[in-house]
Each structure stands twice: as structure tokens, then as C-alpha cells.
Amino acid sequence: MSLLSAASEEIGVLVVESNRMRSQLLTGALRRHATFRVNTCPMDTSAILQSLSERMPQVALLSLNVPASVSETIMTLRRFHLAHPGVPKVLLLESCDRELALTAFRSGARGIFSIAEANLRMLCKCLQKVAAGQIWASTEQLGYLLELVSEVPSVRLLSSRGDSLLTPREGQVVGLVAEGLGNRQIARELNLSEHTIKKYLFRVFEKLGVSSRVELVLYAVNNGETRPQDWLAGARIANA
């Protein structure tokens, strides 16, 4: 007995698609499996909310047609998620790079399914898994997420002329101070000694004219731009 036929409960799927022909093909393929109860609607926030007011699905499948509708689809995904965060969402696309994968997950996707890398049977399995509360992502996409988690926050401070007041490493130290980390934790995060962290903080205090960590955090909040950086903890940084 297959995984699909063994399913004990019907799964409501909302297919959100801007291309009518593709929507019909996708819906027809999913409806051939008794596991799924399929409804469709256009790639439009109002249409999605109207559909959900009539019947709440267990999972939603948003089909991305590149390149024209990338930003539109991501915006719709985000609005959909803000209105109904409890509905798991899968983004269906041809291929996915790092930026698109991270943007999709940030916007509320619980799964990313690439048509070019799998088949309908795997799509059905993806919908089942996501409807059950799991995440569907490739090894590469999971790698993107792990990289994002391990990035070190950094604070960028500029002078009145637009020049950077801090070196990249100093910006990292300030970012970690703003996160509430002590010197020992910062040293561990950046793979440096506590003495080196104290030296960085002394230089930062001098540059910014502050005398305590509280003043430093307030200065950073009021004048800085907090942003994640591409380097990882312990990586070499130029002009440190």
C-alpha cells in the first residue's frame, strides 16, 4: 500500500496560481489522488482570503511563475501568512537560489518544492508532510538557513559625511553587545580572546564618545543600522 492510499484523512489543498492553464493541470493531477481535496484561486490576496473564508485548507500551494511574478508572489505569500499564519504554505517553483529561498521562508513558507528536481509523487509527499507540521526543504536550502542563523549581527555607524565610524570587526562587536552578550560570550562567538574584545570596546568607546555598554547600546539604537553580515563567527575581516 502506498503512502498516499494509507493516509487516513483527506487533506484540503488550496492551489494558488496566476496561470489558468497551469492551474488546471496542477489541480487535475492532485485530484487524481484520493488523499487531496483541492480548491483553486488566483494569485491575489483578496481572492485567497475569500477562498479561506469559505473553506480553510490544511495546506496551501502557491505556484511561482518566473521571472515576471517573483516579487508579486512573495508579497502575496507574505500577506497571506500575516492574515493566516496557521495555514502551512508551500512555494512551487522551477528553481530556487539562496536569496529566493531565504525570502520565501522569511515570508512564511513552510516548504519549497522545485519542479525541476522532482515529480508529482514527491509533490504529494511534500504537501502531506507540510500539512502534518513538517518543513520541506532541500539539503542546499537547509544550508542557506543554517548559514543565516550563524551570521554575526553588525551595527553600521556613519559620520555626518557618510564615512563609516567603525571597522567591520568593531561593528560586529557592537552588534553582539546590542544582542546582550557579555565579553566572554562575544569572544567565543568571534573566536577571539576576552582581552581583544576589551580592546575593541575601548576603541569603540573612544570613537563614539561613550563610557558604558548601556550608552553604547543606546547610541547604536539611535544612530546605527543593524544588519546581518555575510561573514561567520571567527572569519577573517579586512580592516579589523
Average pLDDT value over all residues in the chain: 83
pLDDT on residue 48 = 95
As a whole number of angstroms, the distance between CA 52 and CA 60 comes to 10
Shared-domain flag, residues 111 and 205:
no
Q: Give tens-digit pLDDT for 218-227.
A: 888 777 765 5
A 10 A CB-CB count for 189 gives 20
Which structural domain, as residue segments, surrounds residue 185? Answer: 151-232
**What is the identity of the amino acid at 47?**
A
Check which CATH number belongs to the domain holding 170 and give it: 1.10.10.10
Does the pLDDT of residue 52 top 90, yes or no?
yes
Looking at the fold, whether 45 and 116 belong to one and the same domain comes out as yes
Do residues 119 and 210 both lie within one domain?
Answer: no
Report the distance separating Cα 223 and Cα 216, nearest Å: 10
The total number of structural domains that make up the chain:
2
pTM score > 0.75 for this model? no
**CA atoms within 13 A of residue 58's CA, in its CB half-sphere:** 17
More confident site: 34 or 234: 34
Residue 152 — pLDDT band, cuts 50, 70, 90? low
Q: Is 239 inside any structural domain?
A: no
Q: Is 226 helix (H, G, I), strand (E, B) or coil?
A: strand
Residue 144 within any structural domain of the chain: no
User: Is residue 169 one of the residues assigned to a domain?
Assistant: yes
Residue 22 and residue 117 in one domain:
yes
pLDDT value at 235 more than 50: no
Please report the sign of the dihedral spanned by the C-alpha atoms of residue 104, residue 108, residue 111, residue 113: negative
pLDDT on residue 4 = 43
